A and B are shown apart, each in its own frame.
Chain A
Amino acid sequence: MSTETVADSDGEDNAPAPMVRPSWFADIGRIAAVVAVTYVFFMGLGLLAGLNVNFIMSFLQRITFYGAVFAMGALALNLHWGYTGMFNIGVVGFMGVGVYAMSFVTASPDASPAGLGLPIPVGILVGFLAACLAGLVIALPALRVRADYFAIITLGFSEIIRLLAVSGSLRTLPGGYGTGGGSGISAPRTDSVVSWLQSKPVTGELTDGIIWAGVNLGGVPDSVMENYVYTGILIGIVILIFLLLTRIAYSPFGRVLKAIREDELAARSLGKRTDRAKVVVFVLGCGLMGLAGMLWLGKRTLVTPNHIRPIWTFYIFVALIVGGAGSNTGSVIGGFVFAAFVYDGPDFLKRVIESFYEVQSPPTIADAFVSSNPLAVIDYLVNSMDEIKYIILGLVLIVLMIKRPQGLLGHRKEIAAAVDLSRPSTPSDGANSTDESATTGSAGGESDE
């Protein structure tokens, strides 16, 4: 069912039109359109620049993979911030707890640092629960602090996790266990699920078929196709999280969350147990962050503290803000757009530029200015694309906060209820009047007494 946005046709203010029911078709269409346009854009640009097709295909795989990772993170953050107003900037800390716990469970007992050698699904479950537990530990004492204090507490928490992970003193603990310190921890990769799928009867044929199609019809190498399959699984999980969040949005529980965001004391004064709702939602969101961390970092042969730096939290924040805090569709689109254009796009651009002429970058910007080559400054900037990426990231944040604090797609519009709220027996629904004095109004024929 897709009853579209029911606008209240008053036209005053730029308030978002309330959305009575989930509009699946519109949402999926919007996401698909953004993805398609992005694919076409990069494919066109790549082909124009004469880039290797394999390179383009694996780039598209990369942005889809990171798009899914950022979308998961943004969705989880949306539950905290967009739905409930809990300003959590320790996202990467919960990701780290998840992936370290999983690695501990799944790593081989003979490895260094050693693990328990249990299967990956068990590891993911434990990682999820560990991230939930970390969320509980933070949420219980910090429930009622101010938003900016809450932000600093969560950032402090994520830095504590990172410092613990990087610390040499926890590198190897008795029994051979440990964090592995700065060099990280190694465990079976989560994308080994692809070969597991291949080994099973039905899924195996399906997976093989997809990979065969990619290899023979698209000329894409085997390994890239396997990555595509893993990315596909991630997309599936994004969809599940999306469904979960949508279900929460359109429910009485979601209504309580929204009320907490708007005015917690008022909600409490109406008898709502806001503390309980906040703990529940914070723990759930942290678990989802842990899940995102596991699916993202678990794909690497080595999980290192370098991957849980605060910058990753800010990536997810930008993804969410680009899409619009509060909107699930926005979170997904934001995640993908961020991955494609900010996180990975500059590298692609660099390759495109390099394909047109040989970039001869001077070692420093001073050399670039005194160089005889008139393009030296541009060359230097092309070569500094990694740094420029972060500048773009920063500028995007600033401009969004000044111009459109509500994000590209605006605020959350869902009506938080499990049923359509329009007047049940609708005798005089059209009689709208926003007369200030409100003396008129529909002469509600059914008012009692």
Chain B
Amino acid sequence: MSRESLTGMGENISGGRISDSASAVRNRLSPTSGADIVGLFVALLMVLLVLDIVRRLVTGGIAYTKLLEYLWWGLRDAMYIALAAVGLSMTYSILQFANFSHGDLITTGAFGGWAAAYLVGGWGLASVGELVLVRATSGGVSPGQVGLQVFASPLAILIGMVVAGAVTVLVALAIDRLVYKRMRDQGGISMLIASVGVALALRYFLAVIFTNRKRGVTATAPDVGPFTAHELTLVIIAFALIVGLHLLLQRTKLGKSMRAMADNKDLALITGIPTERVITATWIIGAAFAGISGYLIVLDRGSVSINLGWFLLLLIFAAVILGGIGSIYGALVGSLIIGMTVNVSLIWLPSDLAKVSAFILMILILVFKPNGLLGGVETT
């Protein structure tokens, strides 16, 4: 591998002088022959894998419907990863740190939202405490009795979703005010460590309130054609939100400011974009999406636990990195790739190793193509 593509990245591994303009620029513009070789290798591997899929389809190694199912799962996973990845990518580029507490914002949304949904949908079936804590103990009502599913209680589910977003936004803004705002001038590593602290404190704060029991939440969803109703709900709502975000970014002044800041913070500052307002907007959108993502994941999976978001965090990072940090559309593409990788790899790998393939992909990208697959050509 040529030094050319690598030298630029590491000069500041110490985190001392964070942006060395020369090396940063060189990174972006270098002809990347080393990365090309790896890219070629990966592409070759992809071709081989696709050929293998074709072979298996022809020889009956896997059923056609099985492959479709994997692809559908891939899309479904991609959608909730994407909702979360958008926020992570925006905070990464605008606040310039890797936010390890993003996963726990997802969990916050999941619990906050379902607490509201239970209160609305299960009113009178159990004590308020039991409902608000989303079945914290095993003794009380069963998910079937509360009977939350999209067709039977659409209103409760909708209210729950709105509350999921709102609660997460409030929590995120409070955390920003209490923690990150005091650290605006500190380096990315200090903020990263602080965000680990936020992640732990937030997750176990939820654990104290909701207990750390993993429990069932929703009633069984009816099937709609080959899909379950809840899967479909997840995909449709997530898609609608992403389209909404796209319109916001392209059509509004706020969206343009956000893109400008994600692209080049220093330049944006010079041009007089109101930084703090954009940061607040970033948290609002990122947190709302993360919270709703968590809420929808629970809708789809049917159960919730305090580790929900933390277990997803690294996959979300993988998606953000794949798409190129700071690129919102890149994060969407990255989510699709990660979702597909985790599920299509089931053809070759047992399910408990599927995540491993996504992490390996992430590491390869970070090492050989740190600007993401889209190569930072088209930011945002």
Contact = CB atoms under 8 A, between A and B. Distances in A.
Given A160-B360, A363-B137, A401 B183 contact: yes
Contact of A167 (B200, B202, B352, B367): B352
Contacts of B321: 149, 152
Contacts of B352: 163, 166-169
A19 interface: no
Nearest to A384: B208
A387 B212 contact: yes
Contact of A147 (B14, B186, B201, B363): B14
Interface stretch (B69-77, B125-133, B143-151, B246-254): B125-133
B200 A314 contact: yes
Contacts of B192: 148, 151
B273 interface: no
Given A145-B367, A156-B363, A388-B208, A397 B189 contact: no
Interface in B68-97: 97
B13 interface: yes
A369 B200 contact: no
Contacts of B317: 152
A263 B14 contact: yes
Interface stretch (A38-46, A104-112, A136-144): A136-144
Contacts of B318: 156
A24 interface: no
A86 B189 CA distance: 11
Contacts of A157: 363
B51 interface: no
Contact of B13 (A150, A152, A365, A394): A150
A395 B201 contact: yes
Contact of B367 (A142, A321, A390): A142
B350 A153 contact: no
Interface residues of B, number: 67
Interface in A341-389: 363-367, 369-370, 381, 384, 387-389
Contacts of A261: 14, 16
A156 B359 contact: yes
Contacts of B162: none
A317 interface: yes
Contact of A156 (B15, B182, B314): B314
Contact of A87 (B15, B128, B179, B360): B15
Interface residues on A, range: 35 or more
A381 B10 contact: no
A391 B202 CA distance: 7
A397 B200 contact: yes
- Of the candidates A159, A321, A369, A395, the one having the most CB atoms from chain B within 10 angstroms of its own CB is A159
A400 to B, nearest CB: 8
B197 A144 contact: no
Contacts of B136: 363-366
Contact of A262 (B14, B23, B182): B14
A311 B196 CA distance: 10
A370 B197 contact: no
B330 to A, nearest CB: 16
B176 interface: no
Contacts of B360: 160
B314 A141 contact: no
26 contacts: A141-B367, A144-B7, A146-B9, A146-B10, A146-B12, A148-B15, A148-B98, A148-B188, A148-B192, A152-B314, A156-B318, A160-B356, A160-B360, A164-B353, A169-B350, A263-B14, A264-B13, A311-B200, A314-B196, A317-B196, A365-B209, A366-B128, A366-B132, A390-B201, A391-B205, A393-B197
Given A364-B211, A390-B203, 13 more contacts: A144-B13, A149-B9, A152-B317, A159-B359, A260-B14, A264-B13, A264-B14, A384-B207, A387-B208, A388-B208, A390-B204, A390-B207, A398-B194
